[in-house]
Structure 1
Amino acid sequence: MIRATLTMQVKAGREQDFEQAWKVVAGHTRRIPGNIRQTLLRDPTNQLVFVITSDWESLGAFQRFERSPEQDMLTAPLRELRESAQMTVHHLIVHIEKDGNS
């Protein structure tokens, strides 16, 4: 499994717009083959910083989406609302739940 992590600083005053736009993007992205889940996080000390995590079945599935015209179209509203962005991609090795399941 692959986890892409995108850290973004949103334009001041556009935080609610960003959250709403992300929900729309996530609603479409969840239908993309290979997508497993997406999460939106917000920095507790800097309200302009958001982190998006997106889990994918494989690096290939993620790259196909990331390089597609559909991705450009879907994420355009998010790009309009941000000041900066940085992405990292990692293989998810182990995920342990509270009850011990992985």
Structure 2
Amino acid sequence: MLRMEIRPGMEDDFERVWQEVGDSVTDHPANLGQWLSRSAEENGIYYIVSDWVDEPLFRAFETSARHLEHRQKLHPYRSGGSMTTMHIVASLAGSAGGGR
């Protein structure tokens, strides 16, 4: 999960560019999908969740020219952020999600 701090006033442009360049991530054969969320509590804070087949394949993408190009397109909007990797240990579907 990536937490991104976006420069004030650039949020709409960031969202547009993120969607425009997203296929550089999701077209990678090891990517399962990614999601962009905007904080409901903090202005200019976004969270990107990206799901991968495994961490070694994600790390290979992370150091690729493809990823560097993706990052360069989003960099002008970013003022800070952090990244956390994690492994899902359990999943529970809610009744509204059709999992029952």
* TM-score between the two structures when normalised by the length of structure 2: 0.89
- 1:91 counterpart residue number: 87
Q: For structure 2, which runs of at least 5 residues remain unmatched after alignment?
A: none
Indicate the structure (1 or 2) with the bigger Cα radius of gyration: 2
Distance in 2, Cα, partners of 1:61 & 1:14: 32
User: Which protein is richer in strand relative to its size?
Assistant: 1
Deviations 1:20-46 (A, max 9, x none): 111122222111021001010111122
Matches within 5 A, 1:17-56: 17-56=13-52
Q: Is the 8 A contact 1:33 1:61 kept in 2?
A: no
Runs of 4+ in 1 over 4 A off after TM superposition: none
Q: Of the two structures, which has the highest relative contact order with CA contacts closer than 8 Å and spacing of 6 or more?
A: 1
SS of alignment partner, residue 14 of structure 2 = helix
CA-based RMSD: 1.4
1:75 match? 71
Q: Structure 1 regions of 5+ residues with no counterpart? A: none
CA distance in structure 2 between the partners assigned to 1:10 and 1:17 by the alignment: 10
Count how many residue pairs are aligned between Structure 1 and Structure 2.
Answer: 97
Q: SS where residue 12 of structure 1 aligns? A: coil
